[in-house]
Amino acid sequence: MSNKIAAVILGAGKGTRMKSDLPKVMMPVCGKSMIKHIIDTLEDMKVDEIVTVISPDGEMVKKEVAPYKTCVQDKQLGTGHAVKCSEELLKGFDGAVMVIFGDTPLITKETFMRSVNKVREGYAVVVLGFKPEDAARYGRLKMDGDELVSIVEYKDATEEERKINFCNSGFMAFDGKYLFEILNKIGNENAAGEYYLTDAIKIARDMGLKCTAFEGDPQEVASANTREELALLETYVKNKQNA
């Protein structure tokens, strides 16, 4: 595989739970939009390709991420479908591809690089996990040694699986050589009729590929769906700046 790195930022979410007209990723954290925090980190890493998935009315996000490429997710059909929208722009890319949620602005370049290095070691899918104080309703990461066996959504988890405190942050990295082959095999036979990125683990393993997860700092993987969570992100950034 090549040493190149690409990033796909999922930026098509609406700011409804923020009670704002702004697209979610445009909400500011310490005076800078969430998505700009991510772009700055990726630029610092000298990432080769940056593609942002936007909604049909995502003009504002498109401007914010310029001069980088964008693709439009016409219908919100789930995270797997969102990443698939970038296929045209990343055709033939065979380096590591990071998939980043646009509302997780605090992941550091060191963490991003750890995921890339795992891909380079031979893992087709790499998931960033964390151990929150309250595992609440997060998806659980089922490990067997270094191998990630599956991601079990809380609602589908058995009592036993709910005891697992290693949780899915949402951030993943893929071997670009297999990414779209994996995505094209994801189905939508679930209650929401959506294509879930988390199904990539089972599919990759069925293809005979290796998956793994590594642990990150719970503060670093924090995301913001509500005003309260946004305020928390601000606190984390300020604490880091003052550290």
- Between CA 52 and CA 240 the distance in angstroms is 27
DSSP state of 187: -
Of 116, 120, 124, 95, the closest CA to residue 206 belongs to 124
Phi-psi region of 181 (alpha: psi -120 to 50; beta: other; left: phi over 0): alpha
The sign of the dihedral angle between the CA atoms of 14, 88, 39, 108 is positive
Half-sphere exposure in the Cβ direction for 234 (13 Å, CA): 13
Rg (CA), the chain: 17
| 49 strand-pairing partners | 6
Among 17, 137, 162, 227, the active-site one is 17
Q: Which helix (H) or strand (E) holds 72?
A: strand 69-72
Token pair, residue 130, equals 């964390």
Query: DSSP state, 75?
Result: S
What is the spatial distance between Cα 163 and Cα 158, in angstroms, rounded to a whole number? 9
Question: Is residue 210 within 8 Å of 122, Cβ to Cβ?
Answer: yes
| Active-site residue, 120 included | no
CA distance 197 to 27: 24
Residues designated catalytic: 17
